[in-house]
């Protein structure tokens, strides 16, 4: 799958309270969550994000709470992929489980700027910055996680385990 | 192998596991709350099974926005209540029985040494204080756990934190963990197990150990874990209804990293906004005026915390420009604090006491900060907007610093109030 989009740039340690503040956690409706996504880091984000846009961030993206509302809000906002130097572990699990594409790539996270255009080949983990022409290679997923992604996330995987 | 590796191996039906290995492990308990369980319940419905793997091995604790703070929260709590009824969930804790989940589960004897627990709450790592492997997951993992009784895990490398020296007065588990996170950073233990050892932690109360394990996630860790000793066994005695198994790290166990800290001169710590890694000795923080103090949460809402706070507040008055909010972690803690007269001490000092809830810790309700306001809290996170307005500030500290600060109206060393030395 090839994803194309314009980038939104964030720094290190973007926590789940910034991705979706707890004051909005009295609902689990993805659309309502998306309307407040990244609100405390960039109040313009939810209004100006376009379907397919890509989030690029530094270290430890998604640290803090285990709320799945965080990747759900990002996905429902229309973000096609999150590229970060590293991810916090619960966010990483949650993103894989719900089918939000994420890539770990410190080099890309270090150089890509806001508003640049990217082309991402998820299977190959290849990130092309079509604005600058630079190409980056993300760390490949372990085999089990590739299976999970291929199954469409954890729920279809569990269904197949239970032969539902 | 380390204690973490031994517990994971046992639950994966293996003799041995190695860091980095992906395993499918049997779980002893699956936890969810009023924020995370509704998402899990929707995902559970998508799986299409008609029963949970074991109605005794699931705990549902509506604690974040309960007693219901608004109509939407009431709908979420209702969804959890109806699910519990439909699937015969034994450990569902209604308002009146509930407490803050990570104070409640150990107290009710639902977790023991050697257990493997997953919870759809990041502070599930708290139960490592009992020598259990315990980790936070998302709602979809919780749904899969409720259906299968299993979870996929990557075996984490272990990092050992060895503490030695006798702690000075007013220094406890919160100060140790804030200091540790200050040293290694909020991603200093990313994906790893934090194993806490040494004479200092052996001397800690169980309540202090819960506080430390609770904040392992704030260093990015998968779990935090303590060796099981006579204090652990005394704690579970009369509480735990299931058999348990004690695991211990081998002397030749391999660690990805080892830290040694001499904490004999450690000062009470305060983490400045907006990351828990911004820990400083309290004496370095001068003239920071505050508007609110919160004493409670899954980090510091236990008896030792309330006793320590009451020791400083008894017979004194909260500063006229400060609002003090005290939240016992569970109904049992609340009752015990009443019996010991601590609740009287808090109220006579000018504080308010709330029924158990996570409330203000995550900016839910019961103590939200306005624009430009500043709080000292015994909670676990001081992220931007965590307790309210994006331009408010949270300073993290232990109960002694929080109580002293409430009296002084600014961040203060407990000795400024108690009068011992300093």
Instruction: Determine which of B383, B388, B390 to mutate to test the interface with A (most A C-beta atoms within 10 Å).
Output: B383
pTM exceeds cut of 0.90: yes
> Which pLDDT tens digit goes with each residue over B379-419?
999 999 999 999 999 999 999 999 999 999 999 999 999 98
- Flag whether pLDDT at A142 surpasses 90: no
CB contact under 8 A, A13 and B186: yes
CB contact under 8 A, B136 and A23: no
B139 → closest Cβ in A68, A86, A157: A68
All residues of chain A having their beta carbon less than 8 Å from the beta carbon of residue B140 are 68, 94, 97-98, 153-155
> Which pLDDT tens digit goes with each residue over B107-141?
999 999 999 999 999 999 999 999 999 999 999 99
pLDDT score at A164? 60
> CA B275 to CA B57: how far, in whole Å?
35
CB contact under 8 A, B49 and A142: no
- DSSP H helix total and E strand total for chain B: 15, 18
A66 → closest Cβ in B73, B122, B154: B122
> CA B84 to CA B38: how far, in whole Å?
11
**End-to-end C-alpha distance for chain B, whole angstroms:** 45
In angstroms, how far is CA B111 from the centroid of its own chain?
14
The arithmetic mean of pLDDT across residues A44-55, rounded, is 97
All residues of chain A having their beta carbon less than 8 Å from the beta carbon of residue B39 are 28, 68-69, 72
> CA B372 to CA B301: how far, in whole Å?
26
CB contact under 8 A, B137 and A66: yes
Buried b vs exposed e over B16-49: b needs ≥16 C-beta within 10 Å? ebebeeebebebbbbbbbbbbbbbbbebbeebeb
pLDDT score at B358? 98
Q: Matching CATH topology for B3-260 and B271-418?
A: yes
Which positions 15-34 of B are in contact with A (Cβ < 8 Å)? 22
- For chain B, domain boundaries: 3-260, 271-418
pLDDT score at A143? 83
CATH fold for the domain made of B271-418: Aconitase; domain 3 (3.30.499)
Measured in residues, chain B has a length of 422
> CA A122 to CA A139: how far, in whole Å?
11
- B38 touches A at CB < 8 Å: yes
- Flag whether pLDDT at A115 surpasses 80: yes
Which positions 380-419 of B are in contact with A (Cβ < 8 Å)? 381, 383-386, 390
The arithmetic mean of pLDDT across residues A51-72, rounded, is 97
Residues of chain B with pLDDT under 70: 420-422
Residue A144's closest CA among B11, B6, B155, B146? B155
> CA A93 to CA B40: how far, in whole Å?
14
Q: In Å, how far are B282, B326, B379, B380 from B271, measured between CA atoms?
A: 9, 20, 11, 10
pLDDT score at B421? 46
pLDDT score at A140? 79
What are the strands of the beta sheet with B374-377, ordered from one edge?
Answer: B279-281, B269-271, B393-397, B374-377, B292-295, B323-326, B352-353
- A23 touches B at CB < 8 Å: yes
CATH of domain B3-260: 3.30.499.10
All residues of chain B having their beta carbon less than 8 Å from the beta carbon of residue A72 are 39
Residue B23's closest CA among B6, B40, B43, B36? B6
CB contact under 8 A, A158 and B144: yes
- Flag whether pLDDT at A78 surpasses 70: yes
Which positions 271-310 of B are in contact with A (Cβ < 8 Å)? 275
- A129 touches B at CB < 8 Å: no
All residues of chain A having their beta carbon less than 8 Å from the beta carbon of residue B358 are none
A28 → closest Cβ in B38, B220, B362: B38
Three-state DSSP at A126 gives strand
């Amino acid at each position: 799958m090839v994803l194309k989009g314009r980038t939104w740039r964030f720094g290190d340690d973007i926590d789940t309270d910034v991705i979706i503040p707890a004051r909005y956690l009295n609902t689990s409706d993805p659309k309502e969550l998306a309307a407040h996504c990244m609100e405390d880091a960039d109040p313009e984000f939810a209004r100006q994000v376009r379907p397919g846009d890509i989030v690029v961030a530094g270290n430890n993206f998604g640290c803090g709470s285990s709320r799945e509302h965080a990747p759900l809000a990002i996905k429902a906002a229309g973000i096609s992929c999150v590229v970060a130097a590293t991810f916090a572990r619960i966010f990483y699990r949650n993103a894989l489980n719900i089918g939000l594409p994420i890539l770990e790539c410190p080099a890309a996270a270090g150089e890509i700027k806001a508003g640049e255009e990217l082309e991402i080949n998820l299977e190959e983990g290849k990130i092309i910055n079509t604005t600058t022409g630079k190409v980056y290679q993300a760390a490949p997923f372990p085999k089990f996680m590739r299976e999970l992604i291929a199954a469409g996330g954890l729920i279809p995987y569990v269904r197949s385990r239970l032969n539902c | 192998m380390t204690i973490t590796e031994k517990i994971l191996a046992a639950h994966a039906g293996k003799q041995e596991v190695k860091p980095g290995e992906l395993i499918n492990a049997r779980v002893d308990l699956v936890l969810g709350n009023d924020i995370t369980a509704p998402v899990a319940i929707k995902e559970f419905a998508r799986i299409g099974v008609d029963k949970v793997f074991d109605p005794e091995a699931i705990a549902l604790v509506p604690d974040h926005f309960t007693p219901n703070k608004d109509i939407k929260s009431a709908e979420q709590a209702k969804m959890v209540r109806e699910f519990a009824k439909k699937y015969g969930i034994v450990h569902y804790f209604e308002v009146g029985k509930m407490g803050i989940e990570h104070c409640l589960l150990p107290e009710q004897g639902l977790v023991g040494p050697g257990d493997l627990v997953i919870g759809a709450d990041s502070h599930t790592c708290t139960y490592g204080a009992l020598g259990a492997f315990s980790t936070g997951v998302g709602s979809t993992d919780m749904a899969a756990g409720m259906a299968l009784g299993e979870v996929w895990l990557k075996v984490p490398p272990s990092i050992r934190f060895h503490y030695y020296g006798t702690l000075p007065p007013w220094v406890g588990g919160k100060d140790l963990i804030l200091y540790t996170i200050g040293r290694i950073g909020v991603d200093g233990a990313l994906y790893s197990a934090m194993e806490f050892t040494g004479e200092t932690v052996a001397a800690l109360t169980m309540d202090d150990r819960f506080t430390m394990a609770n904040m392992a996630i704030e260093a990015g860790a998968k779990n935090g874990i303590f060796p099981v000793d006579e204090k652990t066994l005394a704690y579970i005695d009369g509480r735990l209804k299931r058999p348990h198994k004690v695991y211990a790290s081998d002397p030749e166990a391999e660690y990805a990293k080892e830290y040694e800290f001499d904490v004999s001169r450690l000062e009470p710590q305060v983490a400045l906004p907006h990351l828990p890694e911004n820990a400083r000795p309290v004496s370095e923080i001068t003239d920071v005026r505050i508007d609110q103090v919160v004493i409670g949460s899954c980090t510091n809402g236990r008896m030792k915390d309330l006793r320590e706070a009451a020791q400083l507040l008894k017979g004194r008055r909260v500063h006229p420009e400060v609002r003090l909010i005290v939240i016992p972690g569970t109904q049992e803690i609340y009752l015990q604090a009443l019996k010991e007269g601590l609740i009287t001490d808090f109220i006579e000092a000018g504080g308010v006491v709330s029924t158990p809830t996570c409330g203000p810790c995550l900016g839910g309700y019961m103590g939200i900060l306005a624009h430009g306001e500043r709080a000292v809290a015994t909670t676990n996170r001081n992220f931007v907007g965590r307790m309210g307005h994006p331009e408010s500030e949270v300073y993290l500290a232990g109960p002694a610093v929080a109580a002293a600060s409430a009296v002084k109206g600014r961040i203060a060393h407990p000795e400024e109030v108690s009068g011992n030395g300093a």
